[in-house]
Structure 1
Amino acid sequence: MDLKNSKVLVIGGAGFIGSYVVSELLKEDISEVVVYDNFARGKKEYLTESLKDPRCKIFPVGGDIRETDILNDAMKGVDYVFCLAAMWLLHCKDYPRTAFEVNIAGTFNVLEACVKNNIKKLVWSSSASVYGDAVEVPMTEAHPFNNKNFYGASKIAGEAMATAFNDRYGLEVIGLRYMNVYGPHQDQTAAYTGVIPIMLNKIDANETPVINGDGSQAYDFIYVEDVARCNVEAMRSAVKHGFYNVGTEVQTSIGQLCDTILRLKKSDLKVTYKPYSADDARAMVQNRIGSKEKAENELGFTYKYSLEEGLLKLIEWRNNNPVK
């Protein structure tokens, strides 16, 4: 796809990953980037630098994927769409009805609006949650869907609908299955935040970091700037439809992660281990590392930042933007 002189809509463009997609797009020779966001989780401050570029605008009315008339209006004259809007995993666990309305019905609304407005291509955010626990490592895109939670179920539904829209209407859609994304603009304080901000918050408060279980559970951590770059590579690629892992293929246990953070923070705090609650033990994925081969071969995406490099960038950002 040639992005030159194109108009691009980024749904969820003020969020954690979306704000980085916006800044990555502004490196391209495109005419306009429009941010569509309801600011439930996104923040205008994440777009401060991007909005200095006259090509970047926030859609002035609404920004919710459940509002079909506003969504359709936002897509008028648009060439390409990125959709990163979603309810996050633990939100879905606590509010499954709303998760359905946002992640499933909302995704249908986006797909339908893309067809109505003759969008050339959609890059849509899926998740590694579709896989559940790994049967094999690294997981290829052919790995079975062993998901057991509402969030993963909503992403499986979204992928199925994307395939149906591609088959029925010829809509070009690429779905990206993110592994564990971390970095600046991730919510650092909310109850639903990720494991890395939780550890950093504990250490900065000089409190003992806590690991649930024995720390052997292992994941694939990828820095947010790499994820944003993969989004743009997916749009630029010749691929018309498909689903791709976005990860590093590097296995890091939670114990190793905590040790690395403590070392980078030059902290002598000791880790405390505690048993999982019955609810967490049932739901917790213990092992999830994605193969990077398909994304490398078909999208031309190769990650840039090692875990240590990404963590250092995050720590620097936190130092300049103290957690309140």
Structure 2
Amino acid sequence: MNSLTNAKVLVIGGAGFIGSHVVGELLKTDVGQVVVYDNFARGKRSYLDPYRGDSRCTLFLDGADIRETDLLDKAMEGCDYVVHLAAMWLLHCKDFPRTAFHVNIEGTFNVLEACVRHKVKKLVYSSSASVYGDAVEVPMTEEHPFMNRNFYGASKIAGEAMCRAFYDRYGLNYVGLRYMNVYGPHQDQTAAYTGVIPIMLNKIDANEPPVINGDGSQAYDFIYVEDVARCNVLALQADATDQFYNVGSGVQTSIKQLCDLILELKRSDLRVTYKPYSADDARRLVQNRIGCPKKAVADLGFEYSYGLRDGLLRLIDWRQKNKGRY
């Protein structure tokens, strides 16, 4: 078991959706210092507001990118552990694949190189269930073949391969976390690249019927962001190394079930609109992805705390309290 007592932890992407929650979870421990490294392309300074009163939490400069190796090198000085969450998101990668290469692949190489140079004890790398593509078996274990067909998933596969190579060549301890469908506060609620849950909530709040592509039978594994953040801390603390883990609930929820639940929680009488997939989407989009959580339970001691209903209620409450500010 790795102790975080008085440890210095660098959280790369620490002002982002998941990263800001990881910072919060770390500060619940007896960690010595948490340094946030973020370029604020997607993260927000306001997400760090709850921690500004904690002297253990500091921001490295007012915006720093993982492509800037001199800044990354400076930020990592004296760090015991690193959590690497910085990445371009799935649809952003689709539209800007060259930039995605430089951020997600070259940037991850920069992080790994700096970890070795500064003798970091352990890295937690944020991967994604996108590496799997569409399910050939449900639930998907960590042995599921890589069947990804998009740039984002390709960049995460490359990151995983580099982690393993750095472990083999330099002895850099790491754990990779393959997130299922993460949702919750601090997820981008309004941008073009946002997720399915914010899109549905935005429609309902505008008194417009939510739209489902296809027949709504496509099913996923939804996991609340605070559970994901807690898993990152457990991964730092665990003895496990050179391993990858699914981070999900293991619960299968169809998009129709999700939409019906959101309408119920919002007390809305709106009726769903069904829209056919475009030919391109029908061929490329993942229709079924549910992760097996057993390995993370056994090795990391991670079990999710928030079921979908509870997580959605917390998200709805956060949106209400932060209306116009997200």
5+ residue gaps, structure 1, are none
Report the counterpart of residue 106 of structure 2 in structure 1.
Answer: 105
Distance in 1, matches of 2:312 and 2:267, equals 13
| 1:274 match | 275
Q: Are 1:240 and 2:225 counterparts?
A: no
What amino acid is aligned across from residue 52 of structure 1 in structure 2? G
- TM-superposed deviation, 1:257: 0.1
CA distance in 1, matches of 2:176, 2:123: 9
- What secondary structure sits across from 2:304 in the alignment? coil
- Asked whether the equivalents of residues 189 and 323 of structure 1 are also in contact (C-alpha less than 8 Å), the reply is no
Find the aligned partners of 2:190 and 2:62 in 1 and give their Cα distance. Answer: 28
Query: What's the offset of the Cα at 1:36?
Result: 0.1
TM-score, structure 2 as length reference = 0.98
Give the AA of the match of 2:224: Y
* Structure 1 stretches of at least 4 aligned residues deviating more than 4 Å after TM superposition: none
Counterpart residue number, 1:137: 138
In structure 1, give the amino acid aligned to 2:119. N
Asked if structure 2 preserves the Cα contact closer than 8 Å seen for 1:188 and 1:323, the reply is: no
CA distance in 1, matches of 2:106, 2:133: 22
The whole-number CA distance in structure 1 between the counterparts of 2:31 and 2:309 is 33
| TM-score, scaled relative to structure 1 | 0.99
The equivalent residue for 2:147 is 146
Q: How many residues align?
A: 324
**Contact persistence 2:40–2:63 (CA under 8 A):** no
* Distance (whole Å) between structure 2 residues aligned to residue 19 and residue 319 of structure 1: 20
CA contact 1:14–1:37 (8 Å) conserved in 2: yes
Match of 1:190 in 2: 191
- Amino acid of the structure 2 residue aligned with 1:248: S
Distance in 2 between residues matched to 1:203 and 1:257, nearest whole Å: 13
Offset from partner CA, 1:253-275 (integer Å, 9 cap, x none): 00000000000000010000010
Distance across 1 between alignment mates of 2:51 and 2:36? 10
- 1:31 positional shift: 1.1
Q: Give the letter for the 2:253 counterpart.
A: T
Q: 1:61·1:70 contact (CA, 8 Å) conserved in 2?
A: no
Query: Any idea what the Cα deviations from partners look like across 1:233-270, whole Å, max 9, x if unmatched?
Result: 00000112210000000000000000000000000100
Q: Do 2:234 and 2:301's aligned partners in 1 also have CA atoms closer than 8 Å?
A: yes
The answer for the alignment partner of 2:253 in structure 1 is 252
Percent identity (aligned): 74
Distance apart, 1:62 and its partner CA:
4.0
For the 8 Å contact 1:249–1:291, the answer to whether it is kept is yes
Of the structure 1 ranges 14-23 and 46-55, higher mean CA displacement relative to structure 2 is found in 46-55
1:56 lines up with 2:60 in the alignment? no
Kept after mapping to 2: 8 A contact 1:62/1:70: no
Query: What is the CA-CA distance between 1:278 and the residue it aligns to?
Result: 1.9
Residue in 2 that maps onto 1:31: 32
Unaligned runs of 5+ in 2: none
Note the C-alpha offset of 1:130.
Answer: 0.1
Distance in 2 between the 1:62 and 1:116 partners?
22
Contact 2:4-2:32 at 8 Å conserved across structures: no
Q: Which residue is 1:20 aligned to? A: 21
- C-alpha RMSD of matched pairs (Å): 0.7
